[in-house]
Amino acid sequence: MDLRAISFCAKAQALKMILFPIEEYWWFYLSFVGFILVILALDLGVFHKKAHEVRFREASIWTCIWISLALIFNFVFYRYCVWKFSTDERYLSLPDFDPLLQAKTSALEFLTGFVVEKALAVDNIFIFAVVFAYFAIPRVYQHRVLFWGILGALIFRAIFIAMGAVLMKYEWVVMFFGGLLILTGIKMAFAGSEEKDLNKNVLIRLLKNVFRIHPQLEGEKFFVRKNRKTYVTPLFVALIFIELTDIIFSIDSVPAIFALTKEPLIVFTSNIFAILGLRSMYFMLSGVMDRFVFIKYGLAAVLVFVGLKMVYLNHAFGGKFPIVWSLGIIATLIGSSVVVSILYTRRSRPSD
């Protein structure tokens, strides 16, 4: 694909033009949120109405379903962009504007954002495993905790994305978060791999000071009343801890997607679709997470790369680093870390 042709997005940004302004696409946001709520209601009220242990086969099927929904949405979004950019005079009046090329660029931005968020979600999965082990949450109740945790994550991500859409218009904010991503990536690469001791975690100590915690589980209940006092169960504490850690992770993940596109609509939809499949991905990978020994280096490299895009590469390429190159680099970094991890653990595994 011609690099000069791909530069339309840079021209649009130079004109400070948002292709999908919120005030014009409010109906889309409402429809999309309604669609997501319907899916979540079906998920909890029909497919997971009865608490049960989610096994690998079921988790794999649901992972494929969530990814397929994201890809179907991306195709429909691409077709809509082709129609919109080919008929709207505001876009056609831009110099050297190619409707088909811009539709492909927008669809690639969604796909790249989806891949980045999915990759960064691996950190969340490791946290899920540590938290469930610490609070001794049986697998039969883990889906309930993750459902409500991810529902809360969707709400907070929407708030952060709305704030990012405003703040990322300022150059100093972009540079600040770009530098933060680079530092976070470097810190992740050199961080130790020792087991996390949640007894020393500030959030855990804070939660124990704030809530009256019941010492044991009461089935799938979040709250229990004993001796005229209301207690929160370990299930609820695990939920709050997962929610708070996701908010902290959002400081990295939301700016990372804004480094790929300035379109709030693309940031919002790609982020939401990636989060929706987080539960099934956790249950699918929970038994093999110890094999991904080098995945943190791939994720660290991705954070450094998107940070460099924000502080340097986008400017060096006339306002927008080619999205095709971004997708290729990110996929290579993540894919190679996964392959190396699998090969390493396979060779180091003792032979029978």
pLDDT confidence of residue 73 = 94
Q: How many residues does the chain have?
A: 352
Answer yes or no: pTM beyond 0.85: no
DSSP E strand stretches across the chain: 223-226, 229-232
pLDDT confidence of residue 12 = 46
pLDDT confidence of residue 247 = 81
Taken in order 260, 261, 262, 265, the sign of the CA dihedral is negative
- What span, in angstroms and rounded, lies between the C-alpha atoms of 187 and 181? 10
Predicted confidence band of residue 107 (pLDDT cuts 50, 70, 90): very high
- What span, in angstroms and rounded, lies between the C-alpha atoms of 222 and 326? 43
- CA-based R_g, the chain, Å: 22
Place of tokens 């409010």: 26
Q: Residue 61: which of 284, 261, 248, 247 has the closest Cα?
A: 284
Q: Are 51 and 44 in contact (CB under 8 A)?
A: no
- Side-chain-side CA neighbours of 344 within 13 Å: the count stands at 12
- Work out the number of other CB atoms within 10 angstroms of the CB of residue 42: 12
218: pLDDT strictly greater than 80 = no
282-330: pLDDT as tens digits: 887 776 666 777 878 888 888 888 888 888 887 777 777 888 888 888 8
83: pLDDT strictly greater than 90 = yes
- What span, in angstroms and rounded, lies between the C-alpha atoms of 33 and 17? 25
- Side-chain-side CA neighbours of 240 within 13 Å: the count stands at 17
Q: Residue 181: which of 169, 168, 193 has the closest Cα?
A: 168
Amino acid at 314: N
Predicted confidence band of residue 250 (pLDDT cuts 50, 70, 90): confident
Mean pLDDT, all residues of the chain = 80
Average confidence (pLDDT) over 218-228: 81
Average confidence (pLDDT) over 29-48: 79
pLDDT confidence of residue 68 = 93
pLDDT above 90 coverage of the chain, percent? 10
